[in-house]
Structure 1
Amino acid sequence: MGKLSVFNFLTLNGYYEGKEKGDISWHTHQPGGEEGEYAAEGASSASTLVFGRVTYEMMAGWWPTPSAIETMPDIAKGMNASEKIVFSRTLTKADWQNTRIVKDNIGEEIKKLKKDKDLTILGSGSIVTQLAELGLIDVYQFMIDPVALGAGNTVFSGMKKKLDLKLTDSRIFKSGVVLLTYVPA
């Protein structure tokens, strides 16, 4: 059976995006270095990538571009080659290679997919919230940037029930970024 993992960048005060939808300008990740190596390892895994519409459009607007391929070739290669699923009721086409759109029944679709493959949600706060409430997420990885914002959107915004997590691993990068890995308690 496969696992569903979440991988998100967060600010110290818990935001995964700034005040505007898709704003990750606060994220301090630079090409190369430890975080880049870690991201390249993740991008080269066989995991199917899962997105909501907003994150998908942001990723699809960057990773296939010549700038992304030149700046972060290993990550771009993995992102572009990966199988991708975007959950959206409004998106009508997905031009990024290896992408399919799923319009309904997010929980049932994830249960089906987990039977034989690993899945990784990137960004996509509302998708994380929905799947966390359904108890379908197996691993939560949060890369905490050493920055705080005055406003933004939190990963678990709108969550209706308590989610207890157990820390299973941590890593400190030279940049001050901290990676925390949790599983449901």
Structure 2
Amino acid sequence: MRKLFFGMNVTLDGYIAAPGDDIGWGGPSDEMFQWWLDQELANDISLYGRKLWEAMSSYWPTRDQQPDVTPAQAEYARNWRDTPKVVFSSTIDEVDWNTRLVTGDAVAEITRLRAGDGGPMGIAGATLAGAAMRAGLIDEYALVTYPVLVGAGTPFFTALDSWVNLNLVETRTFPGGVVLTRYETRR
């Protein structure tokens, strides 16, 4: 069975984006970017909701061809293109960059993928991750908390029907007061 990983940059008050989908508060240091790259390199499959897919696919496919690219960004771009991706959406018609589109039941497809053989899967996008959270499918959470309060926006955690007990498996501090906390779901 595959493990399902959900991690994102988050504000101290729990938001992955401020109102208007503003993520300007979350620029990573080189060390933090490398941590995210390592996470992405570990994933066999990346699962995306539509909004995050559109943001990622508008930037990463050609980032390694830009003159100001860092070596880590170039590696991230190559890995992003090469890693199989699944996008869950009922509003777009096609995807590219080694990606498959699922228009049906996201929880059923994530359950099917998770039950298969292979390495970890990463899930990204608040709505998609929220559905997986409510279904009890997420095995690991990583919160990369920035020392900023935005007051409102898109929350990292969704409303749940029952408690989810977690075990702390890692804490780490990055430049700028950014703190990583990683948790595994206690099953």
| Structure with higher helix content | 2
Q: Secondary structure at the match of 1:148?
A: coil
Contact 1:126 1:155 in 2 (8 A): no
Aligned ranges 1:1-185 → 2 under 5 Å: 1-21=1-21, 23-30=22-29, 33-66=30-63, 70-71=69-70, 72-95=73-96, 97-114=97-114, 115-117=116-118, 118-122=120-124, 124-185=125-186
Q: CA deviation at 1:160?
A: 3.8
Q: Post-superposition, which runs of at least 4 consecutive aligned residues in structure 1 deviate over 6 A?
A: none
Contact 2:8–2:144 (Cα < 8 Å) also in 1:
yes
Report the CA distance between 1:68 and its aligned residue.
Answer: 7.3
Deviation at 1:43, TM superposition (A): 2.5
Separation in structure 2 between the aligned mates of residue 68 and residue 170 of structure 1, nearest angstrom? 34
Name structure 1 gaps, 5 residues minimum: none
* 1:163 to 1:112, Cα distance in 2 relative to 1, 3 A: same
Question: TM-score, normalised on structure 2?
Answer: 0.88
Confirm or deny: 8 A CA contact 2:6 2:122 kept in the other structure: yes
Tell me how far 1:98 sits from its aligned partner. Answer: 0.5
Contact 2:43 2:122 in 1 (8 A): no
One-letter amino acid of the structure 2 residue matched with residue 103 of structure 1? T
When the two chains are superposed, the root-mean-square deviation of aligned CA atoms in Å is 1.8
Listed as ranges, the gaps of 5+ residues in structure 2 are: none
Query: Aligned pairs, how many?
Result: 180
